Amino acid sequence: MNNGQHGALRQQAVNTAPMALVDSHCHLADAAFEQDLDAVVARAREAGVTHAMTILAAGDAEEAARAERLAAMWPGMRLAAGVHPHQAHQCAMPGRATELLRDAIANPRVRAIGEIGLDYHYDFSPRDVQRAVFAEQIAFARDTGRPIVIHTREATDDTFEILAVEGRGEVQGIFHCFTGDAATARRALEMGFHVSFAGIVTFPKGQTVRDAAAIVPDDRLLTETDSPYLAPVPYRGKRNEPAYVERVLHALGEVRRAAPPALAAVIAANFARLTGDSEAESR
């Protein structure tokens, strides 16, 4: 990493305005938040979270309905929709994933395709089906000009191979909840992707992830919670929620020797650019 990459962020911020935080990946349309969604959103906004992106399972009518309620109460909420590798077996017929995505992007708040990818840890769907559905969704994203949100677990090489073949260097997006090492982060960066960090950067055993976070350029960095999963220290064991993204930001600030307000501003700009928001919408 050159000295200029983080130089601006190493300066102590003089602006005393509240930080504008971003949770680039959460699951607020999940049933886990159905009973107290209003309170969760209120806590997030009180904590300074101005924008977030909720992930939807493409074709799930119940999640879509909860997302509409969510969007009505939070103007800064953006959506992503995709077929997760765990559900890939439901779209084994060629063209089915494309059909679901075409319906999903009719909603203008759906700014990205995801989360999509490969999960060889649980193997809830056959691996050949996962790969085929992942490839189909990348092709759809390429054809429609939308970024993708990638889930990859124990499938690094296959993930990058399919991205290279189907993305053709034209598809960008986010490696979400990054759990790899610095070498894997560099592979993602070389393909033009953003790298998003969640509560794992606060875990005592998260040093490998912190090492990766140290080398990501300012303009490719994102924060997330992956709510309701992976609550950061000191909330581990509890349901995660967007308000806790501040803990992720401060952990990244320590790793990168960056003032949190300046880091937050850079991340907010990255998110706005990636989701296609104008400067006014990103405020």
Does 18 score more than 90 pLDDT?
no
Mean local confidence (pLDDT), 256-261: 96
Architecture, CATH, for domain 19-275: Alpha-Beta Barrel (3.20)
Tens of pLDDT, residues 139-173: 999 999 999 999 999 999 999 999 999 999 999 99
Are 227 and 200 within 8 A, CB to CB? no
List the chain domain ranges.
19-275
What percentage of residues in the chain have a pLDDT greater than 70?
A: 92
Q: What are phi and psi of 226, to 5 degrees?
A: 60, 30
Are 189 and 220 within 8 A, CB to CB? yes
As a residue count, the chain comes to 283
Helices (H), 79-170: 96-104, 127-144, 156-167
Does 279 score more than 60 pLDDT?
no
Six token digits for residue 250: 């401060």
Q: What's the pLDDT at 278?
A: 59
Q: What's the pLDDT at 5?
A: 46
- Strand-pair category, 173-175 with 110-119: unpaired
